[in-house]
Amino acid sequence: MKMNQTVLLSLAAGILAVVVVSGYLWWNMMSRPAGGTGDFIYEVQPNKSFAQVARELQAARIIRNARVFSIYARLLGQRGSLRVGEYLLRGDMAMKQILKVLTSGRSISRKFTVAEGLNIFDIARAFESEGFGSAEEFLKLARDPAFAKQLLGEEQAGLEGYLFPETYQLTKFTGARDLISNMVQTFFREWQAQAAALPAGWTRHQVVTLASIVEKETGAPQERARISAIFHNRLEKGMRLQTDPTIIYGIAAETGKVPTDIRRSDILQPTAYNTYVISGLPPGPIANPGRESLRAAMAPDQSPYLYFVSRNDGTHVFSETLEQHNRAVREFQLNSSARMGKSWRDLNKPEGDTNGAAPAVR
């Protein structure tokens, strides 16, 4: 009888201990931390142990007890489930909610917007200036032929033209490689939606190259297909494209710096991209075109135009003959009052140049 009482007392004590410990764990799991207020951004960095995370959360007064947090995670089998990331923890979160966030992988994200017509130099600069990573690393990857082949499935000098303009959600731990891969995947999704319209005899790379020129030549959406038609007509007639943005890109490709203007000496300066010097399309895209420019490159207007000149307001005058074109050049480019304060040719005159005239043919 005495032995049975001892056993019963021991059993009762054990049950009481379990209840007390369970209650203590439950209270810690469900209650708010002592003194914790507001929001807190916490980083789970690579190779950080669970014990270290727990201690840091306790020190920041996000949780009450690091040991209890570790025991709770062990009971759930989640001590090894922490995901690298940057997480927003609220001051009113209970322990179980905190653990759920840290194992979710849903890191804080920030928008990174790539506008239509930006080139890899522009994007790299924005990538760094917005705090996502190194411009040098971005450019190195974007110009790496091996990486380009891996993503495109074909030999290309780099990924210019294939970094699709879009708004991307990046985390603090999204590197240049992941972003570039995502941008190329987005390009392919868009390309698949339009690939059926690929003109006979054209390759994808040629279309992307022409689309990039169309993108750089006009900010007016209604003009894209018409400008594309001019370039198609010129190619068919064996005429040079003579498009200013290729001059700029040729200099950038050689120097790594994008010039802000064109001087007379640049127009006939030989580069691989300068279409005042080379015949046909340049060897690759000069920017990253959006879907409308891709569509325009594959489906140009049916028009007889061969020339166009800027009105200095984002739109252009289109001409069939050189005589008509030169008349438009005189009206909108050689006439300083027509471009005063609007044209880079007026704002960035070479020394000794009183006219700042546009190239005679475009």
Quote the percentage of the chain above a pLDDT of 90. Answer: 59
Is residue 16 predicted with pLDDT exceeding 90? no
User: Mean pLDDT, to the nearest integer, of 293-298?
Assistant: 97
pLDDT value at position 331? Answer: 87
Is residue 261 predicted with pLDDT exceeding 70? yes
Of these ranges, 39-43, 104-108, 153-157, 348-352, the one predicted with the greatest mean pLDDT is: 153-157
Residue-range domain boundaries for the chain: 37-108, 110-194, 200-347
Say which range, 192-201, 315-324, 331-340, has the weakest mean pLDDT.
Answer: 331-340
pLDDT value at position 356? Answer: 33
pLDDT value at position 40? Answer: 86
Q: Would the pTM of this model clear 0.85, i.e. be above it?
A: no
Read off the pLDDT band of 336 (50, 70, 90). low
Read off the pLDDT band of 205 (50, 70, 90). very high
Select from 3.90.1150.10, 3.30.1490.480, 3.30.70.380, 1.10.8.10 the CATH code of 37-108: 3.30.1490.480
User: Mean pLDDT, to the nearest integer, of 129-134?
Assistant: 94
pLDDT value at position 4? Answer: 60
Is residue 344 predicted with pLDDT exceeding 60? no
pLDDT value at position 354? Answer: 31
User: Mean pLDDT, to the nearest integer, of 135-164?
Assistant: 97
Six token digits for residue 31: 């209650």
Read off the pLDDT band of 310 (50, 70, 90). confident
User: Mean pLDDT, to the nearest integer, of 284-307?
Assistant: 96
pLDDT tens per residue across span 66-102: 999 999 899 888 888 899 888 999 878 888 899 999 9
